[in-house]
Amino acid sequence: HNINTSIYYATIQEAIDAPETTNGHTILVDNGTYYEHITIYKTLKLFGADQTTTIIDGNGTGQVVSLTANDTEIAGFTVQNGEFAIDLTSVQNVTVAKNKLFNCSYAGIKIHECSFCRITNNTAISNTEAGVYLFESNKNIISNNTISSNSHGFWVLTYSSNNIISNNFVMNNPQGIVLSFNCNSNTIVGNTVTSANWGIVTAGAHNNTIFHNNLLQNTQQVNSYEASNFWDDGAEGNFWKDYSGHDNNNDGIGETPYTINGENPDNHPLMGMFNDFTVTWEEESHYVYVISNSTVSDFNFEVTYVTEITKAIVFNVTGEDGAVGFCRVMLPTALVNYSYTVLVDGKDVDTTVLDISNSTHAYLYFTYTTSTKQILIVPEYASSLMLPLLFISTIFTVAFSKKKGDKFRLSHLLLRSNLYIED
């Protein structure tokens, strides 16, 4: 039904086609299975009531949902059984979010000749060729998606440049992230790629910046052919599960490069997995990340009011009993603008403020003996009264989001990749 006109319709396409439905309207689709092929040719928002129970089924043929108008949005559906689940062609500023894209003979999402589109928080599973198929498209953001059991996780083809592929979980695809010929100047950051024959493929693709990715249990981490790319940002690179180098100066970065081939070294390989988080404080978003050889969980940003405001970062680390764990933490000084004390299970530990720190971001490094420990990072001046209070009771907890890829995170990446997107 059209929530602007309160008119109900028998099919989704009928609701779109109705003369009463005009640009700017929102259509809400109730639970059920709809055997339709949908074309959204008006500037609309199409929302499903529940992703798991609001299903658009293409009955095995064609593009199940086609978006042909700019500034449209589709969210909250399972779209299945077509050639492509969702097809974007020659559009700008389209949002595809929180959908499941399943069992299509080619791809979950096709993006052709598009720009400034956002593909976020979707799940693409068991599509024959690709989870996301992108070609001749520029300046799009593809973030926070789960891509599993397709032939290619991300298949980027033919003159697709200045896109950001960030913070996706890419698992069990024979080829994880593929950048093909003339796909240049893209940013591939913060993704976890695992259980692939080839984790990342670069074939004739140049000047792409690839960093802060976790490359885990892949048969071959990278296949690079006639390609020259940047595998770090000048200070930090990627976590390679098979990296055998050492960290002699104790900063969380390997001393020797991870060499893909002669033209493609990661000069600053990470010694632990990359984890990032977004914190909201005073209506502004701030980006925090942790590089650690422990498993990081239960991240939170807490604020207490005793005699004055005290802010703290809290998270847990888990590792093998008795092993030495480390954390390399990046904190924006706008969020916790003080000198820092780090406590592990309530005990102060020696902390190094790394030379990479500057007026806007502090980089901390510390170690501990693992099992499961709580990490607390607080201003150095915090009193002995404040610290127990932070452990025992949080008077006020500021809302935070562990979603990887909100506006702050994206703007951070846009600045680093010289890619600009309008609000």
User: Among 308, 297, 270, which residue's Cα sits nearest to residue 375?
Assistant: 297
Give me the pLDDT at residue 311, please.
Answer: 86
Does the pLDDT of residue 322 top 80, yes or no? yes
Give me the pLDDT at residue 146, please.
Answer: 98
Q: What is the pTM of this model?
A: 0.90
Does the pLDDT of residue 298 top 60, yes or no? yes
CA–CA separation, 2 and 22 (whole Å): 10
Q: Answer positive or negative: Cα dihedral of 338, 343, 347, 349.
A: negative
Give me the pLDDT at residue 381, please.
Answer: 56
How much of the chain, in percent, has pLDDT values that exceed 70? 89
Average pLDDT value for residue range 163-169 = 98
DSSP annotation of 321 reads T
Indicate the pLDDT class of residue 13, thresholds 50, 70 and 90.
very high
Give me the pLDDT at residue 186, please.
Answer: 98
What is the per-residue pLDDT across 94-139, written as a single tens digit (0 to 9) for each? 999 999 999 999 999 999 999 999 999 999 999 999 999 999 999 9
Average pLDDT value for residue range 21-37 = 98
CA–CA separation, 368 and 329 (whole Å): 14
What is the per-residue pLDDT across 48-81, written as a single tens digit (0 to 9) for each? 999 999 999 999 999 999 999 999 999 999 999 9
Does the pLDDT of residue 152 top 50, yes or no? yes
CA–CA separation, 174 and 181 (whole Å): 19
Contact 111, 137 (CB under 8 A): yes
Other CB atoms within 10 Å distance of the CB of residue 259: 12
Strand order in the sheet with 372-379: 347-348, 340-344, 372-379, 309-318, 295-305, 396-397
Does the pLDDT of residue 414 top 60, yes or no? no
Does the pLDDT of residue 161 top 80, yes or no? yes
Does the pLDDT of residue 392 top 50, yes or no? no
